[in-house]
Chains A and B, each alone.
Chain A
């Protein structure tokens, strides 16, 4: 993206050696699209615009103080997770609506002409299961499955010990499996899908 430089578009390592690390512009270029898409999957496009803007505004404001030795993605997704808390209820409402009607508000919420995703039974059941998860558990699960953060990164994003993330993720996956299994939607043995690969 060709964008002008900006007054606070820089970041320093403050220490013995000052090093110009990733600029805000570079961070934005690298992380904006995947973060926006993740948020859009969670809460729809218009809210995703707002949350992505607020996430990067917060990051921009804190850029000078951010320790460049820390990984960027967990920090950004942690900010986004804090902002998403205010949308947990609407997220659940949208999941329930999709489960009930087969029309996903996330892909139709802006009146945009978007080819609607297949409203198959699997996804409607999944939406129902996601809606019933505890919000914190849903957060961890979706950071893992959609944002593709590792357990360690999720821990850093949510300020949780990695062990806690692992156990909650395991429990949530089991809960999801049980929910889908009751409706005959999953195989009996675990899959080796990429999302389950250990990182």
Chain B
């Protein structure tokens, strides 16, 4: 034998393969899952093994509220009820497939998670807003666990073979204590914009998104969903929902 120890070491188990696309996608989905019941189930499982890890995850989820000041996004009429085009239906179908894989994975890992499914045939447009980068759409399809599955994209972004680039998910079950579930995200092709969206789990007509600088963005609630567009900068500190009479019906406040 003539190899050095490090050469032998480099060769040792060198045939072990990198993970496949499916593994990467599955783990990415698990890691970035919103704080829904499924996510909590995952954390609970980790908690039994790594008590400190869960604390980190939960705290960060609370802190991870970001940028904004805005231009809100003007609502475009005549969009609600528009049947989803093929590329949007494909995206919802992809969600369902992903959820199936996630459920299968969780079962194999010893904790069964109940995953929602979107009724793809009922996918339709809910809200279209005009942003600095063109129209942005929120599509929804009923979830078999109640509430909505939704998907948000920029209308002018080209579709990919697996659907449109966007953000999507399904309403958590049960709803959060605040009765408002919201999030914000930026899309790589639109780095100057932050999309804010969410669900209100009680009857509401509008939400007011209060920003750290003191301004407030008023957004209509359609089918219990809302969508807005913000510029990067300030932070969202409060989301308040009002019914048609103007009475406050739900509130989310940034944790201190």
Contacts and interface: CB of A to CB of B under 8 A. Distances in A.
Contacts of A195: 6-7, 9-10
Interface residues of B, number: 59
B8 A10 contact: no
A186 B25 contact: no
B256 interface: no
A137 interface: no
A28 B32 CA distance: 11
Contacts of B56: 58, 61-62
Closest 10 CB pairs of A and B: A191-B4, A61-B60, A7-B183, A193-B7, A6-B32, A176-B5, A195-B6, A33-B18, A8-B64, A187-B2
A1 B18 CA distance: 14
A196 B6 contact: yes
Interface stretch (A69-77, A121-129, A149-157): A121-129
Contacts of A88: none
A84 to B, nearest CB: 12
Contacts of A13: none
Interface string A111-155: 000010100001100110000000000000110011000000000
B13 A8 contact: no
B77 interface: no
Given A2-B165, A7-B184, A58-B57, 11 more contacts: A2-B162, A3-B28, A5-B167, A9-B186, A37-B18, A37-B19, A40-B17, A64-B63, A107-B13, A176-B9, A177-B4
A57 interface: yes
A161 B31 CA distance: 31
Contacts of B75: none
B163 to A, nearest CB: 8
Best-surrounded residue of A4, A10, A36, A56 (most CB of chain B within 10 A): A4
B4 A193 contact: yes
A119 to B, nearest CB: 11
Contacts of B162: 2
Interface residues of A, number: 68
Interface stretch (B45-53, B201-209, B217-225): B45-53
A198 to B, nearest CB: 13
State the main secondary structure of chain A at its contact with B: helix
A10 B32 contact: no
Contacts of A8: 32, 60-61, 64
Contact of A41 (B13, B59, B191): B13
A123 B60 contact: no
Contacts of B5: 126, 173, 176-177, 180, 186
B76 interface: no
Interface in B2-35: 2-19, 21, 23-25, 27-32, 34
B227 to A, nearest CB: 14
Nearest to B17: A37
A3 B7 CA distance: 37
Interface string A178-199: 0010001111001101111000
B41 to A, nearest CB: 13
Nearest to A144: B6
Given A54-B53, A195-B7, A186 B16 contact: no
A104 B185 CA distance: 44
A7 B18 contact: no
Contacts of A65: 60, 63
B136 interface: no
Contact of A141 (B9, B29, B191): B9
